[in-house]
A = this chain, B = another copy of it.
Amino acid sequence: MLVDGTPHRTVDWRDGALVLIDQPVLPHSFRLWTTRDHEQAAEAISTMVVRGAGAIGAAGAYGLALATRQAPDGDFDAYVAQAKHTLANTRPTAQNLFTGLEHVAAAIAAAGGGERPDDARDAALAAAQAYADEDAAACEAIGEHGEPLFQDGWGISTHCNAGWLAFVDWGSALSPVFKAHRAGKQVQVFVDETRPRGQGARLTAWELASEGVPHVVLADNAFGFLASRGEIQAVITGADRIARNGDVANKIGTFGHAVIARHLGIPFYVAFPSSTIDAACAGGSEIPIEERSGDEIAYTWGAADDGSFTRVRTTPLASPARNPAFDVTPGGLIDGLISEFGVFPASEDGVGRILAARAAKAAD
C-alpha cells in the first residue's frame, strides 16, 4: 500500500536484504528497518519491529533465506537448522511463523540442502518471495469475499491491527473494509486502541487515516456501550491461530468482544489467510498463550509533546502486572471465518472445507 505516495510492503526484500517497516515507532515516525542477518531478523520478530500473523510468517521466511546466505558451505545444514530453531522460538503463538519457516525449509531440502548450497540459497529466496506474494494475494481475496458482508452505513468494530501492516499487503480484517470503502460504501470503523501495546490506536488508525476510511479510536472498554446503543453493526478481527474445530487465538480482548457481540446479536467475523490454520491443533485449549512482560502494562509508549518517542509509567512501582497477550475465542461465538477461499462456519466442518480448498489449490 502507499505511504506518502510510495508503494511499500510491510515485509520486503531489496538488494539482498530484508526490509521491514519499523512498527513500534508508528504512527509518529515512518522508518524502514533493514538487515542481512537472520539473528537480527529473529530479534525484529521477538521485539515486534514486525508483528501480525502474515508479516511474521514472511519475516520468518525471509529470515531463513538470509540464514542460507550466512551459512558456510561446509556446515550448511546444521547452520540452517539452528537458524530455523532461533527464528521459530521468537513468538510461540504465531502459527504463520511456523508455516513460513516450513515452506522455505522444504524448498531448501528439495533443492538439495547442504549438498548443493547455492541451489538451496536460490530456492530459499524464491520460496520466501513466493510465500510473501501468496500472502498478499490471499489477503486481497479475503477482502473480496468479506466485503459483501458489510452494508452501506454500517459501523464496524475491529480489535488490534489486522491490516496490511500485519501482513505483506492488504491485511485480513481490514481488507474487506478497504474493499467496501473503495466500492463506495459508507462505513465507519470503531478502532479499539487495543491495550496494552496499542496496535489499534497506532497502526489500524494510521492505516485507515492513510486510506481515508472514516474511523474513530476508542478505549477497548467502550466497545460494548457503543454497540449496545446501535452504533456498531458488525465486528471483524484477525487471528493468530485457528484450531481444527474453529476456535481462534487472537489478541487479548478478542474473546470478550465476541461474548459481548453475541449477547447483543451483532455478527462477529474472523478473517485470516488459510495459512493461519494449525491443522495439528484440535481445539483452542491446546494453544499456548504467551504471557509478556508486565512492563507493557506499567509503561505506555508514545510521542511526547516535544515529538520524542518516550514512555510514561501509569502504575505504582509497588504493583505487579499480568500480561497475557492472546486469548481463545470458541468457534461457537464466531459467525463466520473469512478466508481467501470464501466465508465458512467456525466449526470442524468449516475449517475442514478451507483446508480442502487449500489442498485442491496446492494440487493444481
Q: Residues on A close to B: CB < 8 A?
A: 27-28, 190-191, 193-196, 198, 201-202, 205-206, 208-209, 215-226, 228, 251-253, 255-256, 259-260, 263, 289, 294, 297-305, 310-316, 318-324, 326-328
Contact = CB atoms under 8 A, between A and B. Distances in A.
B297 A304 contact: no
A216 to B, nearest CB: 4
Contacts of A224: 253, 255-256, 259, 327
Contact of A205 (B255, B289, B315): B315
Contacts of A326: 225
A190 B221 CA distance: 16
Given A253-B219, A259-B260, A310 B316 contact: no
29 contacts: A191-B319, A195-B219, A196-B221, A201-B315, A205-B315, A217-B297, A218-B297, A219-B323, A220-B221, A221-B253, A221-B327, A222-B323, A222-B327, A225-B256, A225-B324, A226-B322, A226-B324, A228-B255, A228-B327, A256-B260, A259-B259, A259-B263, A260-B260, A263-B263, A301-B314, A302-B311, A304-B304, A311-B312, A312-B312
A278 to B, nearest CB: 19
Contact of A202 (B259, B314, B321, B322): B314
